[in-house]
Amino acid sequence: MKMDHPKEVIDPIEAMQDLLTSIWSEMCRMYDVDAHVPDLPLIFEQVDLSDACIAAEKILVNLLLEIMEDVGRFSPFYRQPPRAFGVMSYRNPRTQRVEWILAPEGHRRWEMASNKLEWLISQYRGIFRAVILVEGWMMRSTPNDPQVLAYCHCEPPHAIQLKRSLVQKREILCDSCRHPYEMREVLEG
């Protein structure tokens, strides 16, 4: 098989970062909040990536709970109940613990964001799972860590872009063939 340089290879980590940033900005605009995107450990707190749909909802809930914390005293949303932010609590009958979920209007409002998150997670959950385990996750950029093109063992292989340090750990597995992505080419120095 001829290995042409793929025209558009997604960097799953950058795609996730961009998506989270755009969802966060949209939430900030909607609720009149001026704050930085929360740290990733917070965004992914208790997010189980094995079910992409549930994971997407949990991420949105984590972001909205953070938005609630960041509402300024002079905002019309100050001290509004959680429902005003599209979230509600319920007691999980299995665990008997109170959990936050999206209210129906929250589901409607963030449906598009949820779909995008779900797609990204379902395609690259192995990568996100591995990378969340890496300390400091993807926010930390180290010098001399270029983007590389990496391939798995599928036929045809999936190609992704990642930081070289992540590929070298060989912990980033393809969800289909279960092989680690291997570096093929350095894209930028």
Q: Which residues bind Zn ion (CB under 5 A)?
A: 152, 154, 174, 176-177
Beta bridge partners of 148: 162, 186
- The number of residues in the chain equals 189
CB of 174 to Zn ion, least distance (A): 3
Closer to Zn ion by Cβ: residue 109 or 125:
125
Give the 3-state secondary structure of residue 183: strand
CB of 46 to Zn ion, least distance (A): 28
Q: Exposure string (b/e) for 114-145, b if CB count within 10 Å is 16 or more?
A: bebbbebbebbbbbbbbbbeeeebbeeeeeee
CB of 169 to Zn ion, least distance (A): 17
CB of 9 to Zn ion, least distance (A): 14
Closer to Zn ion by Cβ: residue 21 or 176:
176
Whole-number Å distance between alpha carbons of 23 and 180:
30
CB of 179 to Zn ion, least distance (A): 6
CB of 166 to Zn ion, least distance (A): 16
Whole-number Å distance between alpha carbons of 102 and 1:
46
Whole-number Å distance between alpha carbons of 178 and 89:
37
Closer to Zn ion by Cβ: residue 140 or 178:
178
Give the 3-state secondary structure of residue 76: coil
Closer to Zn ion by Cβ: residue 158 or 163:
158
Tokens at residue 115, please?
């779909």
Whole-number Å distance between alpha carbons of 137 and 42:
12
Closer to Zn ion by Cβ: residue 8 or 155:
155
Closer to Zn ion by Cβ: residue 63 or 174:
174
